[in-house]
């Protein structure tokens, strides 16, 4: 459900592609890994443009972005 929500919101502003190290990649080579609060950034360590999009957090920092914020893109 998290991935479906993320795609439905962000696809209005950019194209998304399936990515090997993360769940998705956009046209600007940003990597997005979708998960819950306890998701770690191990998969994205090699990518400077890697972002964790996390459910169950209210405030993000650095490369951790709350999932609900993507709802404001609609």
Could you report the per-residue pLDDT of 3-61, keeping only the tens digit for each?
999 999 999 899 999 988 899 999 999 999 999 988 888 878 777 889 999 999 999 99
Give the per-residue pLDDT at 9.
Answer: 94
CA–CA distance, 59 with 10 (Å, rounded to integer):
19
CA–CA distance, 74 with 34 (Å, rounded to integer):
18
**Dihedral class, residue 73 (left if φ above 0, else alpha if ψ from -120 to 50, else beta):** alpha
- What six digits make up the tokens of 37? 């609060």
Give the per-residue pLDDT at 70.
Answer: 93
- Assess contact for 67 and 52: CB atoms under 8 A: no
Give the per-residue pLDDT at 73.
Answer: 87
Q: Give the domain ranges of the chain.
A: 2-73
Give the per-residue pLDDT at 43.
Answer: 78
Give the per-residue pLDDT at 4.
Answer: 95
């Amino acid at each position: 459900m998290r991935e479906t929500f993320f795609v439905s919101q962000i696809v209005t502003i950019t194209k998304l592609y399936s990515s090997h190290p993360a769940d998705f990649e956009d046209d600007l080579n940003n990597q997005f890994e979708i998960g819950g609060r306890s998701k770690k950034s191990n998969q994205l360590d090699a990518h400077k443009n890697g972002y964790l999009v996390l459910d169950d957090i209210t405030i993000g920092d650095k490369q951790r972005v709350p999932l609900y914020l993507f709802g404001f893109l609609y």
